[in-house]
Chain A
């Protein structure tokens, strides 16, 4: 079971500023462990963000993204009190969904 994300969502004027921290190993598949064996690739493959029930972001990510990544984005048309639902799925099928409310 994956660890929870940390989501910060705040209105800045008429734009919602959303930042999310994800806890993930993001293994590239290029690294070798102490014994010389390749560490299998393990990374977040797709990310979706829904604000107020509407899909606002859909992304495909790969092994170039850092471990424990941070994503930040701004959403127009959102308002305080809207629910933000963020979901990721990794290449092993592990997934995580977390929610926050825009403040």
Chain B
């Protein structure tokens, strides 16, 4: 029997090919911008094709599997497990919980975003130490911390569900309003605010189109990206990391991990994206 095989792709090769392409001048001229929706540049279109190919085989799945294992099998020193963790829909319920945070958690007396809640539970039930988590809150090339894998798993359990961050509790409303305020707050050596780059349609940094986070259909683009697998380096990064990096890019002081201000910004972004469909952990170049 004749069998033919062909090796299709290695991610590294694709990445390199794309980088080369991005440096060439755009072949197609962009169609004239319509008043309502800003025209997509040829580069953005190429980007989207590239992302589509990779979404099918997103290595985020490897971290999802690790997170699932911790969620289901890990035991704390007192015999606790994540089955006791309430993500807002009842103890141990993961399905759909991610797209319904940030929300008010009475047991903690705080509005918490998904990452904050997951870390809270891992400390409470699995015996993780706050000091250890703060030592390395975000992934780097050497290590992806356990809580990042768990967040990836939790996020993946809301794949293809509608974002529905609650706004019933007064504290949830407060978080949204504080976030909205921070979004527009100008400061730092460049006199930047989040809104400088993300407050109007059609903004970009070099070739990167930036979403206008005041609009639902664009806020989803930012929401969708994180947690995401970053191919440069090969690790998972979370929404908290992204927000931290926004602070850095604005030359603001670095927020402490899981701070109220970041939760407020996430509340503002998520509530703005309410009603949009979340497609699961992202992939970034």
Contact = CB atoms under 8 A, between A and B. Distances in A.
A75 B3 contact: yes
Interface stretch (B7-15, B41-49, B237-245, B270-278): B7-15
Nearest to A59: B7
A98 to B, nearest CB: 11
B34 to A, nearest CB: 37
Given A66-B12, A66-B15, A77 B61 contact: no
Contacts of A74: 4-6, 8
B contacts with A: majority SS = loop
B2 interface: yes
B214 interface: no
A77 B12 contact: no
Interface residues of A, number: 29
Given A77-B1, A77-B2, A67 B233 contact: yes
B150 to A, nearest CB: 15
B59 interface: yes
A76 B4 contact: yes
Contacts, number: 75
Given A3-B65, A21-B57, A21-B61, A69 B3 contact: no
Contact of B11 (A4, A31, A49, A66): A66
Kindly name the residue among B2, B59, B142 whose own CB sees the greatest number of chain A CB atoms within 10 A: B59
A68 B12 CA distance: 10
B236 to A, nearest CB: 10
A21 B59 contact: yes
A68 B5 contact: no
B234 interface: yes
B171 interface: no
Interface of B: 1-12, 15, 56-57, 59, 61-62, 65-66, 141-142, 229, 231, 233-234
26 contacts: A3-B62, A4-B65, A6-B61, A8-B57, A23-B59, A26-B234, A56-B5, A64-B12, A65-B10, A65-B12, A66-B10, A66-B12, A66-B234, A67-B233, A68-B11, A68-B59, A69-B11, A69-B12, A73-B5, A73-B6, A74-B4, A74-B5, A74-B6, A76-B3, A76-B4, A77-B3
